[in-house]
């Protein structure tokens, strides 16, 4: 028995986009209803690791590049690709809820994802941070595999609060971005991850702020920072457009 004629018109849509970091052209297909159904099983998932794993699976199953490895993609490129997938799947317009930090009221906002600015990776940008005591920290751009490895290397207790987990992920991210450290005694390279974490947790907060500022300066890709004015109390503030499990819902 021959297959129905409509089979020739399923999964035929293909798009291309250039990643702002690697410059690689990625061919992909929109997310199917079946993929969204699978993603929705994570809709109420609060575990960050599981949420990101679900997005890895979604991206990998949509990319049409032979040998594509989600672990080898730069983090900012992965984020950019996720937004591109959403645009070609559900359209450019995104509606979401905003909570005012001043009066705690809620409102609905709608944006065109195509209007968000995209910054390409600046390969000429200095990636060294000068700290006190003659310490210089060399930073690097992280790939998804770096992030996966940092999570595997650290056991998170099940009773850890969301606030504690957010703090720990922030520490791990900053530590992972360190490539090598110069001191008056010489250069430390190939530093074990636990030692990079020790460094981040034991330097003054002002010194860590310098590292964070440089990491922000090195960032590229799509900028989800928005400004808004509360319709209830007129309070003006910045926020990040939420990219959550229902981003494709």
Domain count, the chain: 2
2 is a domain residue: no
pLDDT digits (tens, 9 = 90+) for 124-136: 999 999 999 999 9
Residues 114 and 25 in one domain: yes
pLDDT digits (tens, 9 = 90+) for 13-41: 899 999 999 999 999 999 888 887 777 77
Q: What is the pLDDT of residue 60?
A: 95
Residues 20 and 70 in one domain: yes
Q: How many helices (H) and strands (E) does the chain have?
A: 7, 12
Residues 244 and 184 in one domain: no
Contact 224, 86 (CB under 8 A): no
Residues 231 and 111 in one domain: yes
4 is a domain residue: no
Q: What is the pLDDT of residue 48?
A: 73
132 is a domain residue: yes
Residues 146 and 24 in one domain: no
Residues 226 and 112 in one domain: yes
Residues 93 and 141 in one domain: no
Residues 94 and 168 in one domain: no
pLDDT digits (tens, 9 = 90+) for 114-125: 999 999 999 999
pLDDT digits (tens, 9 = 90+) for 178-214: 999 999 999 999 999 999 999 999 999 999 999 999 9
Rounded Cα distance, 144 and 73, in Å: 6
Buried/exposed 115-135: b ≥16 CB within 10 Å, e otherwise: ebeeeebeeeeebebebeeee
pTM: 0.86
| Residues pairing with 94 in the sheet | 111
Residues 229 and 204 in one domain: no
- Asked if residue 5 has pLDDT above 80, the reply is no
1 is a domain residue: no
Name residue, tokens 């929109």: 30
173 is a domain residue: yes
Name residue, tokens 């297959």: 3
Residues 170 and 138 in one domain: yes
Residues 212 and 229 in one domain: no
Residues 98 and 21 in one domain: yes
Q: What is the pLDDT of residue 50?
A: 81
175 is a domain residue: yes
Q: Please give the C-alpha separations between residue 143 and each of 22, 40, 73, 180, in angstroms, as whole numbers.
A: 11, 26, 5, 17
Residue numbers of the domain that contains 148: 122-219
7 is a domain residue: no
CATH number at residue 184: 3.30.2220
81 is a domain residue: yes
- Sheet with 136-139: strands ordered across: 128-130, 136-139, 178-183, 186-189
């Amino acid at each position: 028995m021959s297959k129905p004629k409509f089979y020739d018109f399923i999964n035929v849509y293909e798009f291309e986009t250039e990643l702002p970091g690697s410059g690689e052209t990625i061919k992909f297909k929109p997310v199917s209803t079946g993929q969204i159904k699978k993603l929705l099983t994570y809709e109420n998932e609060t575990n960050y690791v599981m949420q990101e794993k679900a997005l890895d699976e979604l991206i990998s199953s949509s990319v049409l590049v032979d040998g594509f490895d989600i672990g080898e993609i730069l983090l900012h490129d992965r984020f950019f690709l996720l937004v591109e997938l959403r645009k070609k799947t559900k359209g450019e317009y995104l509606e979401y809820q905003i909570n005012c930090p001043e009066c705690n009221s809620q409102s609905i906002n709608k944006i065109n994802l195509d209007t968000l600015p995209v910054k390409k990776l600046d390969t000429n940008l200095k990636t060294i941070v000068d700290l006190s005591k003659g310490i210089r920290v060399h930073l690097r751009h992280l790939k998804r595999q770096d992030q996966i490895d940092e999570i595997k290397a650290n056991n998170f207790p099940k009773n850890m609060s969301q606030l504690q987990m957010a703090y720990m992920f922030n520490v791990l991210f900053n530590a992972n971005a360190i490539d090598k450290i110069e001191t008056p005694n010489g250069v430390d390279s190939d530093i074990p991850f636990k030692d990079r974490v020790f460094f981040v947790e034991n330097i003054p907060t002002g010194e860590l702020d310098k590292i964070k500022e440089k990491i922000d300066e090195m960032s590229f890709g799509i900028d989800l920072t928005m400004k808004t004015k509360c319709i209830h109390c007129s309070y003006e503030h910045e926020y990040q457009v939420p990219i959550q499990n229902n981003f494709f819902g």
